[in-house]
Amino acid sequence: MWVVAVGGYGLRVRSCEEVSVAFPEDVLTEDEHVVLHLHPHWKALIGPVAVLVFAVAAVAAGVLFLPSGGGGSITLAVIGGLALLAAVWLAVWPYVAWRTTHYLFTNERVLLQHGVFSRERRDIPLSRVNDHSMSQRFVGRVLGYGTLTIESAGERGQSVLPDVPKVDLVQTKLYELVEAFHDRHSLGDGELREILAERDKGAGA
């Protein structure tokens, strides 16, 4: 099995022995394999990292500059409690939410999954993909991310994938997957002639 990993300079193909898929493979069918596995762009972690650094800095400043004992200890305890609360709510939780958001592209479908305690997943078979487009704002072009929109047949016809890293390359890969899927499941001229010949032979008998 092969996985396409997103690197700093593009998409690199690696074997699954080198890249952990970190996605339950029991959701895949027997002949299905992962081609591309992504999380949202790392920009989603800028805020949580900044909060974590600020919280650690606040506690360190309290330890260094507040007097020991009495009011200083109480103030330090308050600062530590607020820093811990901010770190959990504004740093750890967003990281877990980011880590549990998956954009999975296989040779059969696109799987979109997110959720920490409750999980929501949508499957888009490649056979139902009618169209796909990407958009990037200026900041997205600089940092290398964008929005991928997939149009498919069904009640929920449009799926929007925000903050997709290397979105232009991902869209190209999706196009290749859709074309390859249709090639595998369409009859060639020779196969069609054989089927028609067998039908005519059966009708003549």
Range of the domain at 80: 45-96
Look at residue 21 and tell me if it is in a domain. yes
* Rounded Cα–Cα distance for residues 115 and 99 (Å): 9
DSSP letter (8 states) at residue 88? I
At 23, the pLDDT band (50, 70, 90 cuts) reads: low
| pLDDT at residue 200 in the model | 60
Between 40 and 70, residue with greater pLDDT: 40
The tally of domains found in the chain comes to: 2
Per-residue pLDDT tens over the stretch 139-189:
999 999 999 999 988 767 789 999 999 999 999 999 999 999 988 877 555
* Rounded Cα–Cα distance for residues 29 and 110 (Å): 13
* Rounded Cα–Cα distance for residues 32 and 2 (Å): 11
* Rounded Cα–Cα distance for residues 16 and 3 (Å): 6
Average pLDDT over residues 88-103: 95
Does residue 83 share a domain with residue 18?
A: no
pLDDT greater than 50 at residue 114: yes
Look at residue 50 and tell me if it is in a domain. yes
Between 94 and 182, residue with greater pLDDT: 94
| pLDDT at residue 80 in the model | 95
Q: What is the pTM of this model?
A: 0.74
Does residue 187 share a domain with residue 90?
A: no
Look at residue 87 and tell me if it is in a domain. yes
Look at residue 186 and tell me if it is in a domain. yes
Look at residue 107 and tell me if it is in a domain. yes
| pLDDT at residue 31 in the model | 85
Residue 149 maps to which CATH number? Answer: 2.30.29.50
CB of 45 closer than 8 Å to CB of 94: yes
Conformational region of residue 33, where left means phi above 0, alpha means psi within -120 to 50, and beta covers everything else:
beta
